[in-house]
Every structure is written in structure tokens, then in C-alpha cells.
């Protein structure tokens, strides 16, 4: 049984208990929250409560979350952009909107479902829900990802990820213009102390995270960055860039979406709004083949939505240069 505790903020307007829990636990539907309350798995200040209870400030809300019951994902015939495949592993370019593996409220349409539909078998080390999965990228981040087809490949790749010997290069579009042309960001990243949807460099119990970056292009209010991961924590790049004052364009969680009105160019605002996600792409993945010992490296071009923004930014700079020369 997993226990989760929330404190309703003092001074906040009154809010129904079920609404408050749903806002803090995005993986739980409103109906799931109500069921937990009805079966006595939610306590307010140590006492059972009703879903309609109005919280007024300072209440201690504790949830008991039953352990998930693993369910074997179903194989689905979902098209995959395959960059490489052999008997031991498969490398794909993941599109935006596809989760890597099933989770709460998400049983279909994931990369695992697609891999099961394409491969005859996958490494069982990841368990029933995550077969073959060695690493992840966020649902709305695009780019290169490797999966293991057998346990030997899985163990070999996992070792390289643990040793941070994997080459991982990302392309990003961020707000603002960093003062220098390159640098590194290091912090301990963990679950945000008050918002469980987010990670933070101010977490009480974080893990070391290091991101190296350099400027690939400056375009006024927007900068293109190339980033290289030394570690691979959840939301690492998104957290590091946001806390450095340069959140990713369109990031709905770490501040990018909130800066949209600040873009002076209406065309650029429209392009970012159409993006509808963080402007982050896992461009390059390099590793030693866990069976053959050969070094392999794969890259995927920018997705169309990010490329449109970059093309527009470059055209605007070129036009400015032409006008200056005239």
C-alpha cells in the first residue's frame, strides 16, 4: 500500500476534496478518486471524509493507493519508424504523443504495444508492463530510443546507461538568450516537494543530474540549444532549463507555455501554440552493441513541428540581414 500526503494550502479558496486530490494526482481519474474516498482510503486530519467535503485550509489529506495489478500489454499493429534492427535490439524514432510503456489509465497505443506487435519477443527483464524497455523519453518528446529483444542485450544496455557511457544528444528551442555560448547545469533532481506532477532541483531527496549545453543558434527571444546528457533523470532537461531561466518553448509543466504571450511576433506565437508540447527532440543515441561490441550511433532529424519554428526563426534573421544591407 502506498501512502501519499497533501496539505491543503492555507488561504486558498474552499475546494471539494475530490477536486483537490484530482488536481494533485493527475494519474487518478475523478471517478477513481471518488472510489478511493468511498471505500475509506482517504482521510482528512485522520478521519474518513466524503468526496464533497469542502477543504478550507491547512487540512492534512492522506491517500492509500493500492498496489497496481500488472496487466500484460496487448500487441498492436502501430507503425514504427525503425532506424535499426537485429536479433538483439531495435532502435526507433518515437513520435510525439506516444508513451513509452503502459501506465495508470494508459493501456494501449504505447511504444510497448507497438513493439509487441512488431517483434516476436522482447526482453523480460522490464517485467510484463515494460518488456524490452531500457530507457524512456517523455510522451511528448520525440526522438531516438533503443529497446532490447533479449535479456543479454537488456543487461548490456542497462549497464551502459548506469555507467553514463551512452551518448545522448538532444535538440531544444528555449525562451530567452543565455549569456554564454556553452555551459553545464548540475543539481540533485527529485519529486517536487508540493507538486507531484513535477520534478525539481529543490527536492529533499534528489539524485545527481548533469546536463551539458551549447548554443546552436540565437534568434532574438528564442535560442536553439544542443544538449548532452551525462545522467538521465526524469524530466532532467526540462527541469534544468526551466530553473536556469530558459524553459523549453511550449512546455506545459515547467513554464514554457506560460511565456507564450510574451512573444512579440504573432506568427511565432501561432507556431508555438500549434506545437502543443515541449520543443525537445532526442536527436542522437550512441552505444556499444551489447552482443557484438561494435559502437553504433543513430540520429533522427527534427520533427516537422520543431523544424517549422526553426525555419521561421532563421528566415526572420536572414530578412533582418538583408534589410540591414539595403
Q: Catalytic positions, please?
A: 138
Residue of 144, 119, 123 lying closest to 133 (CA atoms): 123
Residue of 54, 15, 17, 9 lying closest to 36 (CA atoms): 17
C-alpha to C-alpha distance for 109 and 268, rounded to whole angstroms: 31
Check if the beta carbon of residue 101 is closer than 8 Å to that of residue 68. no
C-alpha to C-alpha distance for 300 and 96, rounded to whole angstroms: 13
- Cell numbers at residue 225, please? 540549444
Check if the beta carbon of residue 249 is closer than 8 Å to that of residue 222. yes
How many separate helices (H) and strands (E) can be counted in the chain? Answer: 7, 16
- Cell numbers at residue 39, please? 471505500
C-alpha to C-alpha distance for 239 and 255, rounded to whole angstroms: 10
Amino acid at each position: 500500500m502506498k501512502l501519499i500526503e497533501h496539505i491543503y494550502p492555507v488561504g486558498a479558496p474552499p475546494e471539494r476534496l475530490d477536486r483537490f486530490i484530482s488536481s494533485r494526482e493527475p494519474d487518478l481519474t475523478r471517478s477513481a478518486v471518488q472510489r478511493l474516498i468511498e471505500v475509506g482510503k482517504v482521510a482528512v486530519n485522520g478521519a474518513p471524509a466524503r468526496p464533497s467535503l469542502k477543504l478550507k485550509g491547512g487540512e492534512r489529506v492522506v491517500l492509500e493507493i493500492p498496489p497496481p495489478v500488472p496487466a500484460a500489454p496487448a500487441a498492436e499493429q502501430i507503425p514504427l519508424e525503425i532506424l535499426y534492427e537485429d536479433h538483439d535490439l531495435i532502435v526507433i524514432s518515437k513520435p510525439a504523443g506516444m508513451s513509452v510503456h503502459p501506465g495508470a489509465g494508459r493501456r494501449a497505443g504505447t511504444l510497448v504495444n507497438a513493439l509487441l506487435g512488431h517483434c516476436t519477443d522482447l526482453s523480460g527483464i522490464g517485467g510484463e508492463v515494460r518488456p524490452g524497455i531500457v530507457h524512456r523519453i517523455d510522451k511528448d518528446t520525440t526522438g531516438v530510443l533503443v529497446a532490447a529483444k533479449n535479456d543479454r542485450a537488456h543487461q548490456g544496455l542497462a549497464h551502459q546507461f548506469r555507467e553514463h557511457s551512452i551518448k545522448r544528444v538532444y535538440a531544444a528551442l528555449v525562451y530567452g538568450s543565455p549569456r554564454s555560448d556553452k555551459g553545464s547545469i548540475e543539481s540533485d533532481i527529485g519529486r517536487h516537494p508540493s507538486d507531484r506532477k513535477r520534478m525539481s532541483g529543490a527536492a529533499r531527496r534528489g539524485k545527481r543530474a548533469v546536463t551539458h549545453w551549447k548554443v546552436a543558434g540565437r534568434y532574438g527571444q528564442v535560442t536553439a540549444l544542443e544538449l548532452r546528457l551525462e545522467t538521465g533523470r526524469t524530466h532532467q532537461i526540462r527541469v534544468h532549463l526551466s530553473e536556469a531561466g530558459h524553459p523549453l518553448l511550449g512546455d506545459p509543466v515547467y513554464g514554457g507555455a506560460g511565456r507564450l504571450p510574451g512573444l512579440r511576433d504573432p506568427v511565432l506565437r501561432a507556431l508555438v501554440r500549434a506545437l502543443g508540447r515541449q520543443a525537445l527532440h532526442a536527436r542522437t543515441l550512441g552505444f556499444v552493441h551489447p552482443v557484438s561490441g561494435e559502437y553504433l550511433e543513430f540520429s533522427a532529424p527534427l520533427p516537422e513541428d520543431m523544424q517549422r519554428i526553426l525555419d521561421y526563426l532563421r528566415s526572420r534573421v536572414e530578412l533582418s540581414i538583408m534589410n540591414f544591407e539595403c
